[in-house]
Structure 1
């Protein structure tokens, strides 16, 4: 699966409700502007109108097949220097790494992380922060890791965070200088997202922005009201509590938050 296309598809779902397989009850969407009443309808040639529309593919909810539960504990890096994300503010640099044995490409993971942090709707939209991916040996503020469940559990526990649910490493976490994404969640999303047909790519946007949000000093928040978008700092991996899935910290250009936990 090509992550870049999946992430772009997710952004389209979140920003533009067009009546596909995922509706407003499952994912928080921004309304599309209505066409101007004075706009002329585009002309369509007879041959083009005779071609039936290709039905859109259903969203990918989880990756099929087994997920490696343990890797080698070593990491390969996406050694690109990425663009500066954001227009103004403090520049924070991050690296991207994938555990050896996770069966994920560091470059594809890096592209997915960049798409989540670029937005629109990401942390850089506040105008006080810029982010940039840098290669392995460069000076950096934090590293975004994609790790198997066993390694993620060990790394998180070393940073003071227990990610176990039901005796197994389940969630992702942030440890000092480390944003640790659990491979199980990256591949499988979570049951309540799957039941609501929220695309896996939307969950991926959420989990990156949530854990990077912790790295930026943000704490957990609660659902502000039934039917409203979930704040990105809400623990959407565990529950939605009546809110609808939302992967972005900014909506309509403003910081979107809920009551503190």
Structure 2
């Protein structure tokens, strides 16, 4: 409690003279102490209210928002050890299992006509000759042409794709523009017909099985796009990586590259190896360039 200047500097006044001055000061501080105590108590209450979210609060769940139940928002009656908020510590997130093959039936035939991606894509590659391509999806296949166009763009952009040579650029163009080739996603029956018309029989066991390339046409079989193949599913190769491979493999044919073999057991398969049919001891690989260098195998 502060005192008068005279008291601090040793005034000769008697104790009886000082007391009447000190007594009113004590009375003035008593209400302030009460108010301070009230505010401290109120502050604790406010803090508790801030820490406890309302029943309608939202919490982030995976990639979306979900309303948090009222019971969870209120928290338990007492905090468990090591959990000052009153909630149990969250368990570590587990990585989602990769998609190896899509469930459900795959249309074996479509209308035979195609819808085209109407978007112009960015130029892929830093230098070299420019080749333009269109993207098309068969009507009745159940596939979205923009989603397929995005997957093609991702595969050809790399890193690791054909444009990494520094001597090639690629660009997706909409229908009606000048183009060099078209990348089709077709049902098995249509793919079989288109490939056979171009001189390639893609049947295995009597059914159109693989994808192919014919002059100015890269044809991706819908069965493979949705299901991959049994030996790669068994190897737990994510479907997304198989899709990268099949696009780069067939576009590789369009660019003039031929089939290659496995360079050695345990080594990555060259992208021009027929990984849809066999690995021959190699491991799956979707890219023509590995660690910045063209990766090849023996000619077949």
| Counterpart mapping for 1:82-101 below 5 A | 82-101=121-140
Alignment partner of 1:153 is 2:187: no
| Counterpart mapping for 1:216-227 below 5 A | 216-227=255-266
* Per-residue deviation, 1:78: 0.7
CA distance in 1, matches of 2:161, 2:97: 26
* Per-residue deviation, 1:54: 1.1
RMSD of equivalent CA atoms: 1.2
* Per-residue deviation, 1:52: 2.5
CA distance in 2, matches of 1:54, 1:100: 40
Question: Structure 1: which 5+ residue stretches go unaligned?
Answer: 1-45
Alignment partner of 1:192 is 2:231: yes
Query: Per-residue displacement from partner, 1:130-179 (whole Å, max 9, x unpaired)?
Result: 00000011100000000000000000000000000000000000000000
Residue 132 of structure 1 is matched in structure 2 by 171
Alignment partner of 1:57 is 2:96: yes
Q: Which residue of the other structure, out of 260, 264, 267, is the alignment partner of 1:228?
A: 267
* Per-residue deviation, 1:212: 0.1
CA distance in 2, matches of 1:140, 1:242: 38
Greater Rg by CA? 2
SS at match of 1:113: helix
Q: Which aligned runs of 4 or more in structure 1 are off by greater than 4 angstroms?
A: none
Residue 108 of structure 1 is matched in structure 2 by 147
After TM superposition, the score normalised by the length of structure 2 is 0.71
After TM superposition, the score normalised by the length of structure 1 is 0.81
* Per-residue deviation, 1:87: 0.3
* Higher-RCO chain (CA-CA 8 Å, sequence separation at least 6): 1
Alignment partner of 1:178 is 2:217: yes
Residue 240 of structure 1 is matched in structure 2 by 279
CA distance in 2, matches of 1:197, 1:56: 15
CA distance in 1, matches of 2:138, 2:291: 36
Residue 260 of structure 1 is matched in structure 2 by 299
